[in-house]
A and B are shown apart, each in its own frame.
Chain A
């Protein structure tokens, strides 16, 4: 497990781990908001649940990291289903406000929960997140998302986004699919939260506020809603750019904000929106094929 340790300077290693965690988080939100079109403003809440769950499992129960990870995902997904059950019947703005509300409620509860340290938070979480396990988990999440997108399940989710009534008339139980999708999306948020907790080693409720949810949403929108490569790119850029801009010290966030605005003006569908690599490849191949066939045909006629 240790062969990647020390390969990179600690600073770069830390940034890459952060990128990996944000890729995991953003892919979960991409499934909910990008693929299925259910605007969630509370993704950080599920990350928070995952982070606290994993911290409790590894600190208070003393169980291994892998157990902490799985528990984080499962508990986040349980909360996802629990919250999703009433909330996913809503659409658009209403759904956004409800998810936002849940995030704030969760924060207040944690502030007042002595078991997890209240406002002081939890400190001394074992540093179990490494470059290797982050990369492995990020890869698993990417593979799962890609496979799901191309399956009957993923197609149904896109159908729900495009037209829920038509989707129901095609035999899709929209509510059930949305709930399943939400469970998967929040599960990945829980995973990301657990990795986060075991990286920064200190958890405070205020780290998981509205701004964190917006940060993750930014990555998905910047990359292109519904596009997996776009989301990965968005998460990478938005984690890396503030670091790259460190030289400009106090102007850092100004430039960052300006970049976001410029991006949205010139590519409103996101960096990778409207680019479907799978179909692009298929189409190129097909054009190539038909050209070949035409050549053959004309050859035969001649």
Chain B
């Protein structure tokens, strides 16, 4: 059984079909990339999987259970975590607090627990802090724990988003253009981190524009063009696919 399966998923915004009956299966432990020209619907696929939009038709299932139509906060609890293309950190909070919020779906103290603070809540809070620090260490950000998120340099903000997503103990991690805007050194660090996360047994689903990055790291690559999937397979096969070349470079005029 695949970990994540999209079956004829379609979403329409008014008259625009942003994603057009896309089938996609992601097996446990692999790194699946999703590429395509600008506006092909890649981020929309992520928004569908994480429940920000419900699909117009089709089913999305995670570990055999249908998740389409579920709210984002319920989907996160099931084990799907994500980062965003245009970084969405909690700017006025510290790096540590950002990651602590990522831990939200694995803890349960409510408003009254917070006011009364019985031992169980204090214990939970300690556990949240430990896990958050672990995730920060994983991303080499533990020395910045007390900084405000908005004061981090760009590359570190991207890594913080991954740390925050990791805090929810996901089984699959969705990375939306993790390398966008990074310099070569930052990208090298990122590749290292992604490989480390994969070694921890996580499945990774990523959208990316940087071809070198995608081809170097992915097990499988799917290509989206105008909302339709035009290719899916190992990186080298996809690279040679004439339809993919046409989508990126345009067709030859005969």
Q: Is A162 touching B90 in the complex (CB atoms < 8 A)? A: yes
The answer for the CA separation of A166 and B168 in the assembled complex, in Å, is 13
The answer for the CA separation of A152 and B108 in the assembled complex, in Å, is 8
Contact of A151 among B71, B91, B121 (CB under 8 A): B121
Interface flag for A78 (CB, 8 Å): no
Q: Is A279 touching B94 in the complex (CB atoms < 8 A)? A: yes
Closest chain-B Cβ to A64's Cβ sits at a distance in Å of 25
A163-B104 contact, Cβ under 8 Å, with A147-B114, A153-B109, A169-B50: no
Binary contact readout B224-248 vs A (1 if CB under 8 angstroms, 0 otherwise): 0000000000000000000000000
Interface flag for B213 (CB, 8 Å): no
Closest chain-B Cβ to A31's Cβ sits at a distance in Å of 11
Q: Is A173 touching B71 in the complex (CB atoms < 8 A)? A: yes
Contact of B104 among A162, A165, A170, A184 (CB under 8 A): A170
Interface flag for A180 (CB, 8 Å): yes
Q: Which interface class (under 10, 10 to 19, 20 to 34, 35 or more) fits B? A: 35 or more
A170-B91 contact, Cβ under 8 Å, with A144-B115, A148-B111, A283-B146: no
The stretch of B17-25, B61-69, B95-103, B189-197 that contacts the partner chain: B95-103
The answer for the CA separation of A174 and B110 in the assembled complex, in Å, is 13
Q: Is B97 touching A155 in the complex (CB atoms < 8 A)? A: yes
Which chain B residues (103-121) contact chain A, with CB distance < 8 Å?
104-107, 109-111, 113-115, 117, 121
Residue among A170, A279, A282 with most chain B CB within 10 A: A170
Interface flag for B215 (CB, 8 Å): no
The answer for the CA separation of A181 and B112 in the assembled complex, in Å, is 11
Which chain B residues (131-151) contact chain A, with CB distance < 8 Å?
146
Contact of B90 among A153, A163, A282 (CB under 8 A): A163
Binary contact readout A142-160 vs B (1 if CB under 8 angstroms, 0 otherwise): 0010011011111110110
Q: Is B88 touching A153 in the complex (CB atoms < 8 A)? A: no
Contact of A158 among B82, B88, B89, B90 (CB under 8 A): B90
The answer for the CA separation of A181 and B115 in the assembled complex, in Å, is 13
The answer for the CA separation of A155 and B81 in the assembled complex, in Å, is 19
Contact of B125 among A152, A159, A162, A168 (CB under 8 A): A152
Residues of B within 8 A of A167 (CB): 90, 101
Q: Is B72 touching A169 in the complex (CB atoms < 8 A)? A: yes
Interface flag for A172 (CB, 8 Å): yes
Interface flag for B128 (CB, 8 Å): yes
Q: Which interface class (under 10, 10 to 19, 20 to 34, 35 or more) fits A? A: 20 to 34
The answer for the CA separation of A173 and B113 in the assembled complex, in Å, is 17
The answer for the CA separation of A151 and B176 in the assembled complex, in Å, is 30
Residues of A within 8 A of B164 (CB): 170
Q: Is B105 touching A171 in the complex (CB atoms < 8 A)? A: yes
Q: Is B101 touching A159 in the complex (CB atoms < 8 A)? A: yes
Nearest CB in chain A to that of B161: its residue: A166
The answer for the CA separation of A252 and B4 in the assembled complex, in Å, is 67
The answer for the CA separation of A180 and B81 in the assembled complex, in Å, is 25
Interface flag for A296 (CB, 8 Å): no
Contact of B72 among A155, A162, A168, A282 (CB under 8 A): A168
A147-B90 contact, Cβ under 8 Å, with A159-B101, A170-B105, A171-B77: no
Contact of B115 among A151, A162, A163, A279 (CB under 8 A): A151
Residues of A within 8 A of B114 (CB): 147-148, 150-154
The answer for the CA separation of A133 and B52 in the assembled complex, in Å, is 48
A166-B146 contact, Cβ under 8 Å, with A147-B114, A151-B113: no
A162-B91 contact, Cβ under 8 Å, with A169-B82, A171-B104, A173-B73: yes
Nearest CB in chain B to that of A148: its residue: B114
Residues of A within 8 A of B110 (CB): 153, 180
Interface flag for B76 (CB, 8 Å): yes
Give B residues with C-beta under 8 Å from A: 50, 52, 71-73, 76-77, 81-82, 84, 88-94, 97, 100-102, 104-107, 109-111, 113-115, 117, 121, 124-125, 128, 146, 164, 168
Question: Could you pull out 30 A-B pairs where Cβ atoms are within 8 angstroms?
Answer: A144-B115, A147-B114, A147-B117, A150-B114, A151-B111, A151-B113, A151-B117, A151-B125, A152-B109, A152-B113, A153-B109, A153-B111, A158-B93, A162-B90, A162-B93, A165-B88, A166-B90, A167-B101, A168-B72, A169-B81, A169-B82, A170-B102, A170-B104, A171-B104, A171-B106, A171-B168, A172-B73, A172-B101, A174-B73, A283-B146
Given contacts A152-B125, A155-B93, A159-B101, 6 further A-B contacts (CB under 8 A): A147-B117, A153-B110, A162-B92, A165-B88, A166-B88, A170-B168
